[in-house]
Structure formats: structure tokens, C-alpha cells
Amino acid sequence: MNYLALVYYNEDLIRSMSQQEWDALNRECMACGEGLRESGHMLDGHALQLTDTATTVRLRDGKLTATDGPFAETKEQLAGFYLLTARDLNEAIQLAGKIPPLRLGSVEIRPVRELATEGNLAGKTPLIDHTARSDG
Amino acid sequence: MKAWLDRYYQEESRRILATLIRLLGDFDLAEEALHEAFAAALVQWPRDGIPDNPRAWLVSAGRFRAIDQLRRRGRHHAAMEQLAHQLESEADTPEPPEEIADDRLRLIFTCCHPALSSEAQLALTLREICDLTTEEVARAFLAKPTTIAQRIVRAKAKIRDAGIPYEVPEGKALAERLPVVLHTLYLIFNEGYTAFSGAALVRGALAVEAIRLTRLLWQLLPEPEVAGLLALMLLHHARRDARVDASGELVPLEQQDRQRWHRDDIAQGRALLAEVMTRPGYGAYTLQAAIAAVHSEAPSYAATDWKQIIGLYTVLQGIAPSPVVALNRAVAVAMRDGPAAGLAGLDRIAAEPALADYQPLHAARADLLARLDRVEEAAEAYRRALTLCQLEPERRFLEKRLTELRCRSVAPSGD
């Protein structure tokens, strides 16, 4: 049997971490993945960027719509996943548009991120707007 | 040279920024590169002369400075080094001029991407395309500048992290994406036409910019509503010299010197309208343009074809119902059937809780009440409008009306 293990956490916990703590967690995840791959138990796996980057796609009356954010319909349950490779978000939306259950529910698109030993950026969006000027 | 560069910055910096954003794929890096490129120009141009193509020079200088910047940061990050390398290899091919010409339009489609919330779309477009300050955008949304700054930072991060591209969509996707873009262009024009607050009533440059972008969109995408919006902008822009007097006071449509309307803009707007109204698929912008066109051919306010205007507002109310449309229709009814009929319509709209703070509604009520000689109620409505007014010339106009009303109550006229 193959099993899909889905990982959940409260993103606020991640945002409140220091860069060191966050990098340490990422290194742990890399080590965990390596161990499972070596023992032949891990087929594939990826970390996702935070839900800030999510786009939800729906198909209603033959019309494809994309909206900001993760889907929030509590009466919808996870039914499957596709790992897609696309040039950019526009292509990803068009590809997701081909998934048949889209007309029943929704598909949440999230970019995959690479784990790094340090300097992990996802979720660490700088809080200062370098371009916010008030001089006009 | 400093003065020349300052002016050049005013006129061209947003266009150059749009190109740098596309090339570098990052708003903040592009903004830094833009400023470094202008700083370099300030040193080199007085010495070597202005290059033949200043825009291409600045784009190229900005691009190489961004690559240097990534290199410096890249000492610690393999990914940045890789990005710098990639940008460097791309930088060898010069940019075709038509690519650069379309960069602002591309950036509009990026800023108006449906994967961004509509609040973020507007804030980002006003900030990045129109170069409004964060404070000005905040005033427009009646929000705190920190909230807007955060919204813009998040939107930029999502564009970068989720891979929202810098491109004008094609085919079906273009039609799906168009309404949001048109709405944004409409808001940009409005910002140019009536600044959100402060002293300057007509910020002509923004209105001209919105017209330019809409015209570009019309060439790219001959959809009726694009032409409708362009016609609407042109027909309103035609009144620019007549709607403010020499001392900067607002002149209402009713009192405008119609000799000062720009006939060339009116002719262009009407020609566009004639072209699209025979085709299916036009909508709210085209109908609003048609209303402006009726005004444009009337010899005076009183001699306007109000019957036709009421008819157009009725159709508009059918396809895009809004209290604002209902308000304008009621004003037109007052012109055709007298102030009492108009007031009845306005009072029905005023019952709408969402419109309790809508300044034009109170100003319109005040005007009709004054015409009906209900002086006390008119004064009350003017005062209410004044408390809601954010625009200096509009405030002075309302105050003038209120003063006239007071004079009338003190010394009643003989009629």
C-alpha cells in the first residue's frame, strides 16, 4: 500500500519563530526525508509555501475562476492531489482547470518550496516595505 | 541637468520601473535598481551627455546594478548567485522597443491578477502604476497607511512566491481577466479627475495616463466595453477646463461654459461610442459614456435631452443596479419633472443605510430642497454634505451654496 501523509500546523507558530529556529526545523525535515528515502519508504515529498501564496480554482457553469487564498468550504474534504510542473501560476491555473472534480468542489494551488539548511525564506516575508515612500 | 533629470524622472520612471519589474521579476529589487540607475545618470550624463535613448540606458543600467546587488547578497546564497547568472545571460539580448512599450500594460494585468484579493489589486495598481504614495492609497480606502503598506508587501510577496507572471493573458483568459482591469483603469481615471482629498482638484496627468492605458488596451483588445470606458473617459476629460474656474473653484455641469469643452475629445468619444453601440456585448461603461455623450451635445443644462438621459439610466440600473445610478436618475427626473419629483426619488434612496454617508446624495437633496424654498431643510442637508466632504474645492462650493441660502433666509427675494 502507498499512503499520503499530510502535514498541518498553525502558520502563526512558524511566523513567530526566529530565523535560527525556522532553519533548524527545516534541517530536521531534510534529515527525516533522507532517512525515509534511504530505507525505501518515501516516494516523494515537498514542503509548501504558506497559505498567503494559495490560489483557489473553481469551475462553475463552464467558467473557470481563480481567487485569492485557500479554500474555506468546511463541507469539502480532501480527495486527491496532483503534483504539477508549470511555467507560472497562470499555466498552473489552466492545468488545474482540467481536473474533473473541479466542477464539484475546488482545487487549491500552492507553490512547492525547496528546503535549505539556512536562509529559508517561505513565511519570512520581510515586514518592512522598502518601497513605501511618503514623499510622493 | 538636475532639473531636466527630475522632470524626466516624473515622466518616465514608472514606465522604466515596469520594464525592470518584468526583467528582474521582483518589485523591490526593481525599485532599488531604478533609483540606482537615476543616481548613475546624475553622475554620468552631465559628463558624457544625454544618451540617444535615455530610457534604454536607464533600463540597462538598472539591470546591471540589480545583478551586482544579487551578486553581493549571493556570497551566502547559491540561489541568488544562480539568479544573478541567469539575469546576466538574459541581459546580453537587448530589449525590443515594443516589449518595453507594453510593460505597463503587462504590469496592470499582474497587479490585477485574480489570485490577489481585490483590495490588494487596487492598492498595488495605485501604488505601482500610478505612483500614489502609500498615504494617498490609504486615504482612498479610508484605511491606515500601515494597513495599506502591509497589504502591498503581502501582494508583492505573493506575486513573487506564487509565480504570478508579467504578461497579458491571451484568448479566453483575457476576457475573464478584463473586468477587473477595466475597473482599475476606471478608478485611476477617477483619481486623476477628482483627487481623493486635498487642494488639487484635477490631477490631469493621472487622467491622461488612464486614457493612454485604456487606448493601448483597446488596440490590443477590441472589446466593446474597452471602447465604452475609453469613450467615457474622453467625454469627461473634455470638460477639464470648464469644471474648475480661474481661482480653482469647482464649477458644476449646470454652470460650465460649454465653449471651453474640448471638441476633439468629444468627437473621439462619440466616434468610439457610435462604433460599439451597434455591436452586442456593451455594458455599464458604454451606457455611462452614452449619458455623457447626451450632455456633450446639449447647448445648455436646461436644454439637455433629459428624457433620453432618464432612459439610459433606467437601462443602466437594469444591468448594473447601484444607489449611485439611482441618485443620478433622480436628479435627471428633477430636471424633467421638477424638483419635487426628483426629491421623492432621492428620499427613497436616502432610506438605504449604506448611503447614509454618501456626500453627493446630501448635496443633491440640499439643492432640490433649496429650489423648493425649504430653506431650513436645505441648510441642514448642506451641513451634512459638508461634514462628509474630503475635497477642498468641493467644500468651498458647498459652503458658498450654504452662504447664499443664509442670505436668502435673512432677506427673502421678491420672487
B92-105 confidence digits (pLDDT tens): 666 665 555 578 88
**Cβ atoms of residues B325 and B317 within 8 Å:** yes
Three-point CA angle A76, A82, A83, nearest 5°? 135
User: What does the pLDDT read at residue B196?
Assistant: 44
CB distance from B157 to chain A under 8 Å? yes
DSSP β-bridge partners for residue A68: A55
Kindly state the percentage of chain A with pLDDT values over 90.
61
Mean of pLDDT values over A5-20: 92
Cα–chain-centroid distance for residue B270? 21
Mean of pLDDT values over B153-173: 88
CA distances from B267 to A26, A66, B1, B15, B290 (A): 64, 39, 40, 29, 13
pTM value is: 0.72
**Is position A123 within any domain?**
no
Write the pLDDT tens digit of every residue in B269-317.
999 999 998 888 889 999 999 999 999 999 999 999 999 999 999 999 9
pLDDT at A131 > cutoff 70? no
**Is position A2 within any domain?**
no
**Is position A131 within any domain?**
no
The verdict on a CB contact (< 8 Å) between A119 and B158 is: no
User: What does the pLDDT read at residue B410?
Assistant: 59
The residue range of the domain holding A44 is 11-113
**Cβ atoms of residues B24 and B87 within 8 Å:** yes
Tell me the shortest Cα–Cα distance from B362 to chain A, in angstroms.
33
The verdict on a CB contact (< 8 Å) between B163 and A111 is: yes
For residue A127, which residues of chain B lie inside 8 Å, CB to CB? 150, 153
User: What does the pLDDT read at residue B86?
Assistant: 73
User: What does the pLDDT read at residue B34?
Assistant: 95
The pLDDT confidence band at residue B77, using thresholds 50, 70 and 90, is low
Cα(first)–Cα(last) distance of chain B, in Å? 64
Sign of CA dihedral B336, B342, B345, B350: positive
**Is position A120 within any domain?**
no
Return d(Cα B234, Cα B194) in angstroms, integer.
Answer: 15
The verdict on a CB contact (< 8 Å) between B135 and A69 is: no
User: What does the pLDDT read at residue A81?
Assistant: 94
Return d(Cα B309, Cα B333) in angstroms, integer.
Answer: 9
Instruction: Specify the number of domains making up chain A.
Output: 1
User: What does the pLDDT read at residue A135?
Assistant: 37
CB distance from B356 to chain A under 8 Å? no
pLDDT at A76 > cutoff 60? yes
Contacts with B, A 41-100, CB within 8 Å: 49, 52-55, 63-69, 86-90, 92-94
Tell me the shortest Cα–Cα distance from A125 to chain B, in angstroms.
7
Residue B189 cell numbers, joined: 481615471
Backbone angles phi, psi at B227, to 5 degrees: -65, -40
User: What does the pLDDT read at residue B93?
Assistant: 65
Highest average pLDDT, of A64-73, B207-216, B339-348, comes from B339-348
Mean of pLDDT values over B56-79: 82
* CATH code assigned at A103: 3.30.70.1060
pLDDT at B201 > cutoff 50? no
Buried b (16+ CB within 10 A) or exposed e, A109-126: bbbebebbeeebbbbbbe
User: What does the pLDDT read at residue A132?
Assistant: 37
**Is position A86 within any domain?**
yes
For residue A63, which residues of chain B lie inside 8 Å, CB to CB? 176
Residue A85 cell numbers, joined: 510542473
Return d(Cα A66, Cα A70) in angstroms, integer.
Answer: 11
Tell me the domains of chain B and their CATH numbers: 2-91 (1.10.1740)
B152, B153, B164: residue with CB nearest A89? B164
User: What does the pLDDT read at residue B203?
Assistant: 57
The verdict on a CB contact (< 8 Å) between A53 and B152 is: no
Q: How many residues does chain B have?
A: 415
For residue A125, which residues of chain B lie inside 8 Å, CB to CB? 153-154, 157, 161
**Is position A109 within any domain?**
yes
Tell me the shortest Cα–Cα distance from B325 to chain A, in angstroms.
28
Radius of gyration for the alpha carbons in chain A, expressed in angstroms and rounded: 18
The verdict on a CB contact (< 8 Å) between A68 and B117 is: yes
Mean of pLDDT values over A127-133: 37
CB distance from B176 to chain A under 8 Å? yes
Write out the H or E segment, with its range, that includes residue B224. helix B224-237
Tell me the shortest Cα–Cα distance from A90 to chain B, in angstroms.
7
Kindly state the percentage of chain B with pLDDT values over 70.
89
A68, A94, A132: residue with CB nearest B115? A68
- Asked which of A61-70, A80-89, B200-209, B347-356 is least confident by mean pLDDT, the reply is B200-209
For residue B158, which residues of chain A lie inside 8 Å, CB to CB? 52-53, 68
Contacts with A, B 13-32, CB within 8 Å: 27-28, 31-32
Which residue of B lies nearest to A87 if distances are taken between CA atoms? Answer: B163
A109, A119, A133: residue with CB nearest B133? A133
B114, B133, B157: residue with CB nearest A125? B157
Which residues have a Cβ under 8 Å from the Cβ of B314 and sit 6 or more positions away? Answer: B329
**Is position A5 within any domain?**
no
pLDDT at B226 > cutoff 80? yes
Using alpha carbons, select from B177, B179, B191 the residue that is nearest to residue B141: B191
Return d(Cα B365, Cα B327) in angstroms, integer.
Answer: 10
Cα(first)–Cα(last) distance of chain A, in Å? 62
The pLDDT confidence band at residue B194, using thresholds 50, 70 and 90, is low
Which residues have a Cβ under 8 Å from the Cβ of B259 and sit 6 or more positions away? Answer: none
Tell me the shortest Cα–Cα distance from A126 to chain B, in angstroms.
8
**Cβ atoms of residues B261 and B293 within 8 Å:** no
pLDDT at A59 > cutoff 80? yes
User: What does the pLDDT read at residue B352?
Assistant: 80
The pLDDT confidence band at residue A126, using thresholds 50, 70 and 90, is very low
User: What does the pLDDT read at residue B205?
Assistant: 66
CB distance from B162 to chain A under 8 Å? yes
Using alpha carbons, select from B146, B153, B121, B148 the residue that is nearest to residue B137: B148
**Is position A134 within any domain?**
no
For residue B32, which residues of chain A lie inside 8 Å, CB to CB? 130
User: What does the pLDDT read at residue B140?
Assistant: 62
Three-point CA angle B175, B178, B182, nearest 5°? 155
| DSSP character string of chain A | ----------HHHHHTS-HHHHHHHHHHHHHHHHHHHHTT--S---EE--GGG-EEEEEETTEEEEEES----TT-----------SSHHHHHHHHTT-GGGGTS-EEE--EE---SS---TT---SS-TT--S--
- Asked which of A31-45, B229-243, B348-362 is least confident by mean pLDDT, the reply is B348-362
Using alpha carbons, select from B208, B189, B181, B176 the residue that is nearest to residue B121: B181
- Asked which of B25-29, B192-196, B289-293, B349-353 is least confident by mean pLDDT, the reply is B192-196
Backbone angles phi, psi at B264, to 5 degrees: -65, -40
